[in-house]
Each structure stands twice: as structure tokens, then as C-alpha cells.
Structure 1
């Protein structure tokens, strides 16, 4: 019963949790003055994601006239209220957070459009989701006293990695038989390695590993849990490397 309830209320998009967590934690680690506000912002960030997830699922199913849309209504309201409880006081203390939210809104709208159309697995939809998630590195860093002039390389590094996971994971699961996806993923990761090395020689280490896995693993028939575990290790490597590189 508890497992069923958890599945009903919490999204099962495992890759999204790393994308939500790693940039935020990296920005917090880079900040010279992390504090209680980071804990409150992190709670608001995750609660907002879950609320929006259920809102999109309701929209997607309701647009098709399915009764199952109703099961997403209560979680959307509950998590939305919890998000407001955590986020509004923080925004009153730090009004610039409202501007950050407005910057993210076009990408949220793109994701909402794809959900409404039932095309959440589209490549563009995945790439659009990466941008605000990686932007949270800059937000968390600024909240702790590190401005964008110094934190932007970390945001770019996160963007390079998580944008690459979108086509790479497709080569492992949904597009595992597509030569064009494999080629596109490999070319992207090679370019990302060069860009990351310009940001910092330290970043060349994990990005070389990302390129290697994009070349070596597609076509090996790895199960989704194994693919997820590898990406968890890759995102952890990025999190550990960023404080050394900036």
C-alpha cells in the first residue's frame, strides 16, 4: 500500500531527480555562505517540480478525456500549496528569485506544451527541461553570495552534461536501434569534452568518461536500472569535480 501511494504521489522519472539535485547542490557547495535559505529553496524547488509534474499529467490525460486525470488533481494542489508555503517567504526575503523564476517560465511552458500534446519523450522537450534545472546552480550560488560572473562556468558545465544525457539515454532505450541517434550523441559528447576542457582541465576528466560511455555502451542491451545507475555515478562525478574546477 505504501509503495502504491508513493508511486501515485511521487514522479517515477528517476533521471529528473539527479538533474534537479546536482546543479543545486553544486551551486550550494560553490557558494561562500551557504545557509538555511538553501534548505528552504531546495524544498521549494523539489515541491514545485512535483506540483508541476502532476499538473502536466492532469493536463495530458484530461485533454484525452481520460478519467485517470483526476488522480493527479489532489497531488498537484497539495504540492502546489507546499511549494507556496516554502517559496513565498523566501521570495519576500530575496525578490530577485522572482526574476529567476520568470527566466525559467518559457522553458516550463515548452514542457507543458509537449505534455499537453502527449510528446513528453520528444528530444526538444528533454532539452528544454535541462535549462532551468542547470540554471539553479547560479541561483543557489547567488543565494550564498557568489554572483553569476563567477558561477556561470559551473552552470555551463552542468548544461553540457545534462543536455548530453537526453540523446544518450535515448540511444540506450527508446532509440537503441537508431544509428543517427548514436552518431549524434557521440558527436555531441566529443564537442562537450572540448568545451568542458576550455572551462577547466579538471572537467576534461569526467567529460572524457561521458564521451567513452556514449561510444561504448549503446547496443550492449543494458537494462534501464543499470543505465540509471551509470548516470547516477556520472552526475556524482560532475558534482565532485565542479568545486575543484572553478
Structure 2
């Protein structure tokens, strides 16, 4: 998570990987549905604004504990949380009135958000389980977007998103915070090998992008790849996943 200096707080979270995870499943569900439309645009706004509001609320909780001697740092997140949260509600409430089943989707996501909030409060946002908990509701938005467009529940594309974004959690650690850990490296490669096999069961053609994800998980750690390059490569991989899902389903 971003670290603040003084009283200034950036309103837009600098979690670049999170934006891809928020957008790709949603866009896949939208364009795989029979009737993409204005409701998707409103829901996307509510979804992204909700993420920003929750991010700031979680940072407020975290910083109240770790920056007790600098309360202004924590308070800097209050205004963004309230303002952006209100904007998210303005977008979400009309949709929930028109489509009450969206409330069930929100309730299904709530336990995962609670897990993320607990880890933020404890100052352990980098924990492996915290990353996995964030992946599940993000990928679940594929189902929500597809249903909103009058479609069914495309479980195979959703599973593919879960396999990919679940793999980014250990992989990114091997590139940055756990780059010297052989345990993380072996676990990441083993995960990606299993994910490739499972993706092939979902759709044989999906083995191609997932084999590429396996290759990067095996070849890139330990090569001193700079963090911005890691981010750019993951953005390209996310776009590749979206293109694959739209072409194959």
C-alpha cells in the first residue's frame, strides 16, 4: 500500500496490479454477456469507486495503529474514504434498486473484504492469504457483469481469471519482496504448472497463455527485473488474458 508523507494523501491508490485485477474480469464478463450497456458503465464506476473508498478506510485503520504519533497521516485518508464512498453509493444504489440481486453479490464479497480489512488493521497487507482473498471477489465480478448483461454464469472464464490472478500473488512476491526465497520460487512455479494443466481442462487453447505465464514465473525471478518492468509485464499478461477469454468463449 502507498505510504503518505506529511498531511498529503493521494486520492488514487498506486496499486497498479490491483487496477488490472479489478478491470479484466469485469470487462470479460461485460463483453461476454449478450447485452453490454449503460448499466455496466454505472456498475464499473461503483466498483472502482468502492475499491478506492475501501482502500482509504483500510489505510485509516492501519495508520491509526502504526502512526499513533502522527495522527494527521491517518486523518488524511478520512476525506477520500467519505467522499469517494458517497460517490460509490450514488452509483450503486440506483442499480441495486433496479437489480436487487446485486445485493446478494455484495454480501458474497463482504467476507473477503473483511479479511482484507483485518490484514490492513494488523499492518499485514502483504500477507499471502490477504492477496488471495482480494482475488476472489475481483474475479467474481465476471459473473456479476455477465448476469447484469442478461447472460448466464460463465464459470470457465471466471475460473481462468482465478487461476491467473491467484498466480500473480506468489509470482510478484518472487520478483520483489521474496526474490531471494527458493521456497516461494518453487511454490510459484508449481502453482503455475498446475494452473496451466487446469486451464487446459477449461479450454485447450487456454494452455497457450497459461504456458507463457508459467514460463515467466520460471524464468524471470532472480534476473534483477526492475519493478516498473514487472508491472508492465503483468499489465500485458492481464490484457492477454482478457483477449484470450473474449476470443475463446
Q: Same fold (TM over 0.5)?
A: yes
Quote how far apart the aligned CAs of 1:62 are: 1.0
- Number of equivalences: 241
1:233 aligns with 2:236: yes
Within the candidate set 71, 85, 98, 1:93 is matched to 98
Quote how far apart the aligned CAs of 1:112 are: 0.2
Alignment of 1:1-246 (within 5 A): 8-64=10-66, 65=68, 66-67=70-71, 68-148=73-153, 151-246=154-249
RMSD: 1.3
Cα pair 1:201 1:245 within 8 Å, conserved: no
Q: Flag the structure with higher helix content.
A: 1
TM-score, normalised to structure 2, is 0.95
| Runs of 4+ more than 2 Å apart | 4-7
TM-score, normalised to structure 1, is 0.96
Cα pair 2:60 2:78 within 8 Å, conserved: yes
Cα pair 2:9 2:76 within 8 Å, conserved: no
**Matched residue of 2:77: which SS?**
helix
C-alpha distance after superposition, 1:13-60 (max 9, x if no partner): 110000000000000110011100000000000000000000000000
Cα pair 1:44 1:84 within 8 Å, conserved: yes
Gaps of at least 5 residues in structure 1 are none
Quote how far apart the aligned CAs of 1:245 are: 2.2
